[in-house]
Amino acid sequence: MPVTAKLSRDFYDRFGDKLVDELVGLLNDVDATFKAELREQNDRNLALFDAKLEQRLAELKAELIKWMFLFWLGTVATMLGLGRLLLGI
């Protein structure tokens, strides 16, 4: 989106239409360059964030599997203990 600078007629009268149009063109070019660089930086940051998120999710998944196994083991041990207690084995 180009810069929409509203310059006074005095500015145009003092410096001329050609020079002011060149200035506006330069400002538009700078604005476009800045936006492109900002978009590239945002894309890089998003990619880095996604990579870190994937890594942390993988670590969390390994931790979750460990805790699920421990919970399962505790449940089985409790059931065996209750079975022995109730059956008198």
- The per-residue pLDDT for 5 is 62
Q: Does 14 score more than 80 pLDDT? A: yes
Q: Does 85 score more than 60 pLDDT? A: yes
- The per-residue pLDDT for 3 is 56
Could you give the CA distance from residue 1 to residue 4 in angstroms, rounded to a whole number? Answer: 9
The domain limits of the chain are: 9-87
pLDDT band at 25 (very low <50, low <70, confident <90, very high): confident
Helix or strand (DSSP H, E) at 80: helix 17-87
Q: Does 1 score more than 80 pLDDT? A: no
Q: Report percent pLDDT > 70 for the chain.
A: 92
